[in-house]
Structure 1
Amino acid sequence: MSIKYSLIERGKPGVAGGGEKRWYAVVKNDGEATIDDLVSEIEKFSSLSESDIRGVIIALENVIHKQLVNGKIIRLDKLGSFYPSLSSGSAETEEKFNVSLIKGAKVNYRPGKRISDALSTAVFTKAK
């Protein structure tokens, strides 16, 4: 298997009119893997039933949700870490800052070493 890519032409960021345009590779996604697909793959490597695996995945999702909304970093060993971050406006002083300046929160993901290393061995093929 390989990661398929296509080429796109982009201008230079921050330059009026784009400046000199150059060609860059972008990933051409090859479909997606659903929970059903993951459950089928996990079944091959374990003695757990489909319903057990699905139950663990759903429970993990619920626990991650609970921990993130409580401001926790979730470390999943070789899988990586999930952690919350904020986007906010600014105030002239600390005293003038209030919660209404917080525009939103999002979840960040930092892959573990094993997952990061997996992409270092990837093979790339130009999409047709």
Structure 2
Amino acid sequence: MPVRLHISHGDRLATMVAEGKVEAADLGALVARLAQEGAMSYGKLFDIRGVPVDLVDSGLQMHAGRLAAHGQESEIGPLALVVDEATSIDPAALAALAAASRRPCRTFDGIAAARAWLRSLSGRPARDRR
């Protein structure tokens, strides 16, 4: 899978870094792994800077549906996407994803701001890791 995943159970944070082209099927596999690891309620920092992201409407709809199904079983943690000008994510599709999964979702241009936002939502300080 072209997404590297690190889960910190102590910080209740899943950090994902895209490496290569990411498609809807990759996101589905990522959701399955997060569920398997018990990290669906954790904050999620997804760094997709400089990576061509192919998230077609049908793929996002499928992904949003999977998250909504998980959301009925348990809480879904917030999602911070770190993007740059080369990243092509349709803002309407991102809004639909956030609404379907009933969780906060924002884009950032840097990791520090994304981490700070996730910490502010968790109500507890996280260890500063870079």
The TM tier, using the shorter chain, reads: under 0.3
- Between Structure 1 and Structure 2, the one with more strand by share is 1
- Between Structure 1 and Structure 2, the one with more helix by share is 2
TM-score by length of 1: 0.22
**Larger-gyration structure (1/2):** 1
